[in-house]
Structure 1
Amino acid sequence: MKRGFEFDGATVLITGASRGIGRAAAEQMLARGATVLTVARSEAALAELKALEPRRVHVLAADLAAPGMPLAVARWVAAEHPGCTGLINNAAIMIHTRLSEPADRGLPEEDPREAEIAREVAVNLIAPLTLTAHMLPLLARRPGAMVANVTSGLAIAPLPDAVTYCATKAGLASATRGLRSLARVEGRAMQLSEVVMALVDTGLSAPAKRKMAPQEAARQMLDGLAAGRRRVFVGPTGVLSAIDRLWPAMADRIIAGKMRATKGPMETGMRGA
């Protein structure tokens, strides 16, 4: 069996750690013997997380959409936690809106739709790529290092009312594959994994009848990384991927059907992770 990432004794940086999947993953990594470096926007939520294990939880409040923030996070790690061997890019936002519907206008010189799209792209794609680029020189010096990018089943079959989110996750999936190829060309023995996340009961997704618990999603993610999988399918996303390869139109119908099955109107607005 292929040996994957060893959490016991490792130091791992995870973004979007204050709630949902990130919070569950941080707690479970602690249980597996890791030291966890947590990044999120909420100082209060991070303080609660640090209180669980003050000696092995280190926190940094940061908005990854802010220019220069990924570099600042990488410098914090290099200066205070140079033994870091793992990075999990988990933070994401989803704005539930249909691009076919006109956006409400503010001041004449402002375009709210452009601002929404730009923030989603910044948090979901630019930030993880930039943070990874700044972290790679540090991680490359550590044997058994790992980078995991959390994408989504929606990168396989997109949700009609979250087109930008789906596009960013598809981009991150492609970037993970490209980084893996780059490591192979350069002869770097580093684990580069994509975690294809299912529909999870967090504030990121709109209301739906069936959602996976964040704790179970985090467990499947960490188990897959520990097993050394290049692509970790959480929940039914592996089945969705197989359907998409054989019958792409059916995969699209399955995801569109989930949107129709939601209770009440779809929410429009920003949801953070």
Structure 2
Amino acid sequence: MRWSDRRILITGASGGIGRELVTLLAQRGARLLIVGRNASVMKELTALEPERIRALSADLTTREDRRRVLEAADDVRIDMLINAAGVNHFGLFDEQSPAAISSMVDLNVTATLLLTQALLPRLLHENSAWIVNLGSAFGAIGHPGYTAYCTTKFALRGFSQALRRELADTPVHVLHISPRATRTGMNSDRANALNTAQGNHVDEPARVAASVIRGIETRARDRQLGWPECLLVRLNGILPGIVDRALKKRLPTIQQHARRPSPSS
């Protein structure tokens, strides 16, 4: 992989993993079109390599902003799309607001699919092109407290697999990569407290970003990051009852942290 020859669109660039991807890929000489909602972070990232990083503040859930991204992508002539944009709301499903559920589906699924579809004709014209989708371990393991989020990440995993097979006779390579818990601003205080209480491993965004780059360089197809998460994903696919029982034992702790605090607390 000659990164200096690559022209890459990164969504979610102002978030934890996306931001680290921008830094690492800029160091490798790639030309980047970065998209995110935090304008100040985008400005900081552009300053890393002003001649090779173009930033665009955009909300991918809106048709107009997706159109602006497509126009910029045509100007840059991208040959790689990294879908890193996403949102998560930790909490019990019956306490999730309709707005919170809709926002997850709109960004994690609908916007990602529509942007990828719109960019596909451009990618198909390249001799070698990539679509990289950042999923989650919760795209293979349904976990209490993350019901709506799991739904979106299961969808992204299925989308990646189906699209990879649909494009098997084209120059477009599809990689789906699933981080485990990662230390980003997307996690609420309650989610962080649950990870601490359960002794969950939590990766730094830079480590995840480096794993994404290794996945591309090794032409991986579907990667789950972290141990024992790799084992749990396989176990959940073969013997889900074992995972059911393990999570049931943890359910009181999960409910304690996921339940919305009462107004009097």
Shift of 1:152: 0.5
Partner of 2:240: 248
Per the alignment, do residues 33 and 266 of structure 1 end up closer, same or farther by CA in structure 2, a change over 3 Å counting?
same
Amino acid in the other structure paired with 1:81:
V
Q: Quick one: higher RCO (CA 8 Å, sep 6+), 1 or 2?
A: 1
Q: Partners of 1:217 and 1:18 in 2: how far apart? A: 15
Partner of 1:135: 119
Q: Deviations over 1:109-166 (max 9, x none)?
A: xxxx222211110000011101100111111111110001111100111221121111
Secondary structure of 2:69's counterpart equals helix
> Tell me, which stretches of 5 or more residues in structure 2 are unaligned?
261-265
Q: Partners of 1:259 and 1:172 in 2: how far apart? A: 26
Shift of 1:266: 3.9
Partner of 2:76: 81
Please say if 1:71 is aligned against 2:67.
yes
Shift of 1:246: 2.7
Partner of 2:137: 153
Report the count of equivalent residues: 250
> Tell me, which stretches of 5 or more residues in structure 1 are unaligned?
104-112, 269-273
Shift of 1:249: 2.9
Q: Partners of 1:89 and 1:240 in 2: how far apart? A: 25
CA contact (8 A) 1:217 1:235 kept: no
Q: CA RMSD in A?
A: 2.2
Partner of 2:25: 29
Partner of 2:263: none
Q: Partners of 1:198 and 1:180 in 2: how far apart? A: 22
Q: Percent identity?
A: 27
Secondary structure of 1:16's counterpart equals coil
Partner of 2:166: 182
Amino acid in the other structure paired with 2:235:
I
Q: Partners of 1:203 and 1:164 in 2: how far apart? A: 19
Q: Partners of 1:227 and 1:115 in 2: how far apart? A: 39
The two structures have a TM-score, normalised by structure 2, of 0.86
Per the alignment, do residues 254 and 200 of structure 1 end up closer, same or farther by CA in structure 2, a change over 3 Å counting?
farther
Partner of 1:238: 230
Q: Decide which structure has greater helix share.
A: 2
CA contact (8 A) 2:130 2:172 kept: yes
Q: Partners of 1:40 and 1:95 in 2: how far apart? A: 19
Shift of 1:267: 8.1
Per the alignment, do residues 244 and 8 of structure 1 end up closer, same or farther by CA in structure 2, a change over 3 Å counting?
farther
CA contact (8 A) 1:158 1:252 kept: no
Shift of 1:259: 7.6
* Alignment partner of 2:156 out of 140, 164, 172: 172
| 234-243 or 252-261: bigger deviation | 252-261
CA contact (8 A) 2:39 2:57 kept: yes
| 195-204 or 85-94: bigger deviation | 195-204
Shift of 1:67: 3.4
The two structures have a TM-score, normalised by structure 1, of 0.84
Q: Partners of 1:121 and 1:90 in 2: how far apart? A: 14
Q: Partners of 1:90 and 1:253 in 2: how far apart? A: 32
CA contact (8 A) 2:126 2:171 kept: no
Please say if 1:203 is aligned against 2:185.
yes
